Amino acid sequence: MKRTGWWEIFGMEGFLKIFEYHKKDLAGIYGEFPEYKSFDGIIKVEFDRWKNSDEESVKKLDKIIKQRKGKLNLDDWIVCMQSHGIPADLISEIVKAPIPQNLYYEIAMRQERTAKATETILYNTTHLKETDNLFYKDHTLMEFDATILDVYKNVLQKDIPNLMILDQSAVYPTSGGQQHDNATVTVEGVDEPFKVIDAVKVGKVVLHTLDRPLEGDFKGKRVNVTIDPIRRKQLQAHHTGTHIIFASCRKVLGPHVWQNGAKKTTEVAHLDITHYQSLSKEEERAIENAANRIINQCTDIHKSFMDKAEAEKEYGFHLYQGGVVPGNQLRVVNIEGVDTEACCGTHADNTAEVGWIKLIKTQRISDGIVRLYYVAFERAIDVMNGEMDIMNQLCDTWGVDQTQILPTAIRFFNEYKKLSTVTKKQDQQILNLQVKYVINAGGDTKFHFVKSE
């Protein structure tokens, strides 16, 4: 449209109308399309980026051409394409040279060399019976008995034997961005209890890392395990909160939002979403409010295993926010009318159990990806109490009530700027007087330069 001069005729509004005509035409085949409220915003942002990046890219290319005296080597072509986003045909047009025949082959080879290596499997667990994960049957189970199947030497800790494998376990291993449970283990024949300080899944087996070695032959011995309920509930609230925050983002921002990653620790959780620009303060508040309204609705959360084909037929590929899940069965987490995903984490039975969600901050971590940091449950209380302590300290220090904190801060800031300007003028006046004094004294008088504070 730019090249043919059509853009000057249509403009952005006319351009968006073309999409509306496409929707009307396609509705005859696919039916009416649901509202896509973020569509216009995406097109406008992408147009601005195209317009600005195109100009900036050409400037960068011109600089490289001057440095190379008009002749680009293969590395220059690759840098221009991958780092500056300039298409090969545009580079060819500007430098008036054909595209190198081995350009795309070299790019592919370099990408293959820098591809992430397959994760090394440190322990062979294929001969062991699959761990019966009790938390799928009852996530409220905080104490259980089990039998030791084996104890492995920890290759990451100088081969000390502290990796315990049980026939069944309610200890949640680190997975899906959620941290592991901690627990206390009483082993048959050992007086002092052990601490489970880590848990990971290797193959179909959970390895429980103990806080000290378990020396001797303990295969077949019985254990009693008690899970830390405070840690479990906090992690569970953060994981459930992730589903709620995600649903709120789609509600506030639009259906283009998809999950791009997540992490849940006891201190804070974050969710990465696909979004075309940084979030405004108004959008942050709207997302937080929407999330807490979902919590206040006290909606039931259902967890069940489903046949993969049936789940996809019923819920679609929206299920795979965390990536496509292998196997023929999915564990489906369904917050009624809010969000449905394939997820193997621990979740509450009702949104009310999350307590409250407090959005801490958001940031654009890469092009098209925004990260939201938030807390829930007891951590939300801690954060809000901390904010209230700051408010109270300001009130006490300034001698005002909460309603006067903002106008008082603005007054202090304005007076500080005014005083800074006055101080600079005074410094200049003092310097001028000192220079005049030196000139009038003929340079014989000794004195010290003084700068006002």
440 and 378 both lie in a single domain: no
Query: At which residue do the structure tokens 């295969």 appear?
Result: 219
Q: Which residues contact 333 (CB under 8 A, 6 or more apart)?
A: 243, 301, 302, 303, 340, 341, 342, 343, 345, 347
pLDDT tens sequence across 181-200: 999 999 999 999 999 999 99
HSE-CB at 191 with a 13 A cutoff on CA atoms is 0
Distance CA 395, CA 398 (A): 5
Distances (CA, A) of 121 to 161, 202, 338: 18, 8, 38
Q: Is the pLDDT of residue 453 over 70?
A: no
Residue written as token pair 């806080």: 211
Which residue range(s) make up the domain with 39?
A: 35-114
Q: Each residue of 232-254: b (16+ CB within 10 Å) or e?
A: bbbbbbbbbbbbbbbbbbbbbbb
Residue 180 backbone class (left: φ over 0; alpha: ψ -120 to 50; beta: rest) = beta
* Pair 213, 243 in one domain: no
Cα gap 90→96, rounded to integer Å: 10
The answer on 307 and 247 residing in a single domain is: yes
Read off the CATH number of the domain in which 298 is found: 3.30.980.10
* Residue ranges with strand state E in 172-321: 183-187, 194-202, 205-210, 222-227, 259-264, 269-274, 301-307
pLDDT one-digit tens code per residue, 146-172: 999 999 999 999 999 999 999 999 999
Last residue of a domain, one of 81, 114, 147: 114
pLDDT in tens, 331-388: 999 999 999 999 999 999 999 999 999 999 999 988 789 999 999 999 999 999 999 9
Q: What is the pLDDT of residue 15?
A: 93
For range 227-249, the mean pLDDT: 97
pLDDT digits (tens, 9 = 90+) for 251-265: 999 999 999 999 999
Nearest CA-CA partner of 344 in 61, 99, 136 = 136
Q: Evaluate whether residue 254 is within a structural domain.
A: yes
**Domain assignment present for 324:** yes
Non-local CB neighbours of 375 within 8 Å, separated by 6+ positions: 238, 267, 268, 269, 357, 358, 360, 382, 383
Q: Give the Cα separation of 208 and 177 in Å (integer).
A: 18
Predicted confidence at residue 301, as pLDDT, reads 97
**Residues of the chain above pLDDT 70, percent:** 96
- Say what the pLDDT of residue 198 is: 97
Q: pLDDT digit string (tens) for 428-448?
A: 889 888 888 888 876 555 555
379 close to 266: Cβ distance less than 8 angstroms: yes
Whether 22 is in a domain gets the answer no
The C-alpha angle 388, 393, 396, rounded to 5 degrees, equals 125
Shared domain for 242 and 313, answered yes or no, is yes
- pLDDT for the residue 51: 78
Claim to verify: residue 223 and residue 237 sit in the same structural domain: no
If asked whether residues 259 and 287 sit together in one domain, one would say yes
Tell me which of 356, 385, 414 is where a domain ends: 385
Q: Please tell me the least confidently modeled range out of 7-21, 202-216, 434-448.
A: 434-448
Count of residues making up the chain: 453
**Overall number of domains in the chain:** 4
Do 369 and 252 reside in the same domain of the chain? yes
Higher per-residue pLDDT: 118 or 9: 9
For the beta carbon of residue 103, count every other beta carbon within 10 angstroms. 15
Query: What is the reported pLDDT for 443?
Result: 54
| Last residue in a domain, options 227, 250, 269 | 227
- pLDDT for 16 beyond 80: yes
- The stretch 210-219 carries a mean pLDDT of 94
The verdict on residue 123 lying in a domain is no
pLDDT for 268 equals: 97
Clarify whether residues 370 and 269 are in a common domain: yes
Please, which pLDDT band fits residue 117 given cuts at 50, 70 and 90?
A: low
For the stretch 258-261, contacts whose Cβ atoms lie closer than 8 Å and that sit 24 or more positions apart, written own/partner, are 258/321, 259/321, 259/322, 260/369, 261/177
Across the chain, what does the average pLDDT equal? 91
Clarify whether residues 220 and 239 are in a common domain: no
